[in-house]
Structure 1
Amino acid sequence: MTERGRNSVERSRDTLAIGDSSMRWLGDKLVIDIEERAIWLGCPVRPVVRGQVVVEPEVWSGQSFALDPARNHHWRSMAPRARVRVEMERPELSWRGSGYLDGNWGSEPIEDGFADWHWSRAHLGKEAAVLYEGVRRDGSRFATALRFDGSGRAHEEELPLGAPLPPTRWLMGRRTRADRGHARVVRTWEDSPFYARSAVASRLFGKDVLAVHESLSLDRFKSPIVQWMLPYKMPRRP
């Protein structure tokens, strides 16, 4: 997560390299090599995060979705279900389990299109569920509940009830949806002034699930104070 200049970026049909980190397709596997620096008092220091992540999709999906009427922003769940292997050298740890792969792209900065959004993904046996909702920059709201079947095809479901969640330590609001309108934060993995990622337990489409959940406040992200703080957290190109 280091800002870099154009000369530090390389892209081909199967590979994207940014600085010393890269991702590349090897057959049906996505191999992600990580070599990132920490930052102290605004200055990068020696590499402290190094390792490899391998994502093997179990189910592919070719469907993409426009998130705004002007179609400036799109989202696609490429692999609603995947197997993931993590092997880190620094810190020394490893992990294997179930995962997911998606992507967003657009023709304008994301903060120009949205005020906030809230997203979650959960496994439902051999299927997967994705909930997406937020507020666009013009004040209009959007919300979608998708269920991906075993072949990777997305089916739009009736929206579950809104389920409030407690704010983060930075007092950022977050919300989700669930059967009977009840959900519980099990653990928050990442908590920043404008972004949070958590594990959320709920009941969804008749099944008890443990979902990966994220909330993003673009109003906070674009605020002058957060923009001033970012270089102290993430190495920034001069």
Structure 2
Amino acid sequence: MIGFIGSVFSPWYRWSGRRHPQNHVCINVATYGPGGRFTMTDRGVSALRQTNARFEVGPSMMRWENTQLIIDINEVSGPPLVNRIRGQIRLTPSAITSVEMPLTEDGAHIWRPFAPVSRIEVDIDRPGWQWEGEGYFDANFGSRALEEDFTYWTWGRFPTRQGATCFYDATRLDGSELAAGFRFDRTGQAEATPLPPKTHLRRSLWGVRRETRADQGGRARQVLNMLDAPFYSRSAVETQLNGERTTGVHEALDLRRFRSPLLKPLLAVRVPRRKTWQFD
């Protein structure tokens, strides 16, 4: 689940000149495995309602109730499997962190890991799509398009016995490198962690280059393909950190490919535009 104000992967937002982010909002839902669905409807400003505790986009919303983030979804998936997905996700952070990491020197892009150690409960209206398990909640903020400042990045969040470890590696457009790692415990305390060596993963089905980090001599491998696009890969990856085998979520993003104007019409098929909305 991703909530967007200024839907960074929307071709409609790009074609608009990115002048009015509130006119390109979205609650993206992706489910994996047999029968998996993908929803990413780009909606206009009439579909957006916000308060300090609520983010509402058309028929779906995220809201804080006491110590839980509750996400109500009512979306229609894109082709080739077009149908409605309804349900609710409840996320309970073990704690909220104070970490905020600039991804560029001028602070134009910021990563904010609000709750890297959380529990989730999922209840979606499909047989077998109900479960509880590990979760996390983070956010990225930016005042420029990603492709204006980066050529490539990878990110990973891996659960550990103490909490979770996250890695952020990126190549900026000017050739400089970002390499960062954090360990989080269940009380929300964070500390920078020494970076283990990079290790390569197989390229994605679309040939996106992928790498993560693992102990010296350790290896990493994909255990589940989650989302595959010409410029993006999301997968469950098993690696070894401080002698512990762990499986977490890994992303790789090729922004040279994303920059290509040839991709935008293809994306428009998967990301429909719904300009107007009327709340009851």
Q: TM-score normalised to the size of structure 2?
A: 0.79
The Cα shift of 1:90 comes to 4.5
Matches within 5 A, 1:21-60: 21-40=60-79, 47-60=83-96
* 123, 133, 153: which one aligns with 1:117: 153
Aligned pair count reads: 235
Deviates more, 1:19-28 or 1:146-155: 146-155
The Cα shift of 1:57 comes to 0.4
Distance 1:199 1:62 in 2: 26
Matched, 1:77 2:144: no
In structure 1, the residue matched to 2:9 is none
The CA RMSD measured in Å over matched residues stands at 1.8
> For residues 190 and 39 of structure 1, do their structure 2 counterparts lie closer, same or farther at Cα, with a shift above 3 Å needed?
closer
In structure 1, the residue matched to 2:259 is 222
In structure 2, the residue matched to 1:197 is 234
Letter in 2 for 1:2: T
> For residues 23 and 188 of structure 1, do their structure 2 counterparts lie closer, same or farther at Cα, with a shift above 3 Å needed?
same
Q: TM-score normalised to the size of structure 1?
A: 0.93
Q: Secondary structure at the match of 1:220?
A: helix
Work out whether residues 23 and 31 of structure 1, in 8 Å CA contact, stay in contact via their aligned partners in 2: yes
Matches within 5 A, 1:168-179: 168-179=204-215
Distance 2:196 2:264 in 1: 35
Letter in 2 for 1:87: D
In structure 2, the residue matched to 1:163 is 199
> For residues 210 and 57 of structure 1, do their structure 2 counterparts lie closer, same or farther at Cα, with a shift above 3 Å needed?
same
Runs of 4+ with >6 A deviation? none
Deviations 1:68-125 (A, max 9, x none): 1011010111112111000001576211001111111011122222112101111111
Distance 1:13 1:149 in 2: 27
Work out whether residues 48 and 90 of structure 1, in 8 Å CA contact, stay in contact via their aligned partners in 2: no
* 104, 115, 129: which one aligns with 2:140: 104
Deviations 1:31-81 (A, max 9, x none): 11111113459xxx6x51111111000122021111110110101111121
Matched, 1:66 2:102: yes
The Cα shift of 1:205 comes to 2.0
* 250, 262, 266: which one aligns with 1:213: 250
Q: Secondary structure at the match of 1:179?
A: coil
Task: Give the gaps of 5 or more residues in structure 2.
Answer: 1-39, 276-280
Distance 2:60 2:186 in 1: 32
Distance 1:115 1:107 in 2: 17
